[in-house]
Amino acid sequence: MEEKEKIFETLKSAVVSGDHELAIKTAKRAIEIGIDAYVCIMEGLSPGMQVVSDKYEKREVFVPQILRSARAMNMAVDILKPHIPVSSVRTNGKIVLGVVAGDIHDIGKNLVKLLCEAAGFDVIDLGKDVPVEKFVETAKEEATDIVGMSALMTTSMIGMPDIIKSLKEQNVNCKVIIGGGPVSQSYADSIGADGYAADAAKAVKLVGKLLGG
């Protein structure tokens, strides 16, 4: 195997096993020997995160393992990023994500962000407890392809229809997807959302599908 291939494989397995020390070491080595940093992300780190995502979908691993893998990936990305010329980055689409107002449970949203970024989407993260206007303004300004919102409480999810209504009123042309514990496909249908995903792994697939990828 070529050294380049070996580096990609090592980055991938470092992400899968959540070994951030190995991920950092390998990323540094990649830069040292002049491998394209962007390709390292797309051929090494990203497929590693995909493996973790698939395992989570099958409930072979759980959120602690995803967070550990994401940390390894992000630490390697931090090393690689300064070496990526802006022109070589292709994005598969732009997504605005946030947890709706009144809700601070952001772990699911963070997982969606991690997996979407790993899959090559550009994510604007509005954080948690996000007011309606913030979603709409950002979607407008950033000309985003998708707005994703989540709620973990039966008390906070009822703010979702307001966001959809406001996006429509202001003619913001984007798809809306929702997720979170109390939310369901039929709730998504009832409020006019374009999609629902039961977990972060399914959310990435949904995003890909909606953007025709």
* Annotation marks residue 20 as catalytic: no
Nearer to other proteins, 30 or 157 (CB): 157
DSSP H or E run through 178: strand 175-179
Nearer to other proteins, 41 or 178 (CB): 178
Closest CA to 73 of 148, 17, 7: 17
Distance CA 140, CA 149 (A): 15
CB 208 within 8 A of CB 195: no
> Least distance in Å: CB of 38 to other proteins?
27
Count of residues that interact with other proteins, criterion CB under 8 A: 31
Closest CA to 44 of 29, 55, 58: 29
Which residue among the candidates 13, 17, 36, 105 is catalytic per the annotation?
Answer: 105
Of 47, 102, 120, 208, which one interacts with other proteins (CB under 8 A)?
Answer: 102
DSSP H or E run through 100: none
Of 77, 98, 103, 176, which one interacts with other proteins (CB under 8 A)?
Answer: 103
* Annotation marks residue 105 as catalytic: yes
* Annotation marks residue 184 as catalytic: no
CB 151 within 8 A of CB 183: yes
Show contacts with other proteins in window 140-199 (CB under 8 A). 153-158, 181-184, 186-187, 190, 199
Q: Residues with catalytic annotation?
A: 103, 105, 156
